[in-house]
Amino acid sequence: MGTDGITLVTGGSRGIGAATATLLTEHGRRVVVVDILPEPIPQCDAVVWPEPFDVANESAVVVGIAAIEKTHGPITGLVNAAGIFGKMHPVEKVRMDNWDREINIDLRGTFLVARSVGEHMAQRRQGAIVNVASVAGMTSGPIHAYTAAKAGVIQITQTLAAEWGRSGVRVNAVSPGFTRTAALEAGIASGALSNERLARNTAMNRLVEPAEVAQAIIWLLSPASSGVTGINLPVDAGFIAGSTWDAYGGLRHAPDKI
DSSP, residue by residue, 50-77: SS---TT-HHHHHHHHHHHHHHH--EEE
**Distance of alpha carbon 205 from the chain centroid:** 22
Catalytic entry in 85, 146, 164, 178: 146
146 is catalytic: yes
CA-CA distance, 128 to 135, in Å (whole number)?
A: 22
CA-CA distance, 60 to 140, in Å (whole number)?
A: 33
HSE of 206, CA atoms in CB hemisphere, 13 A? 7
CA-CA distance, 11 to 88, in Å (whole number)?
A: 22
Q: What are the catalytic residues? A: 146
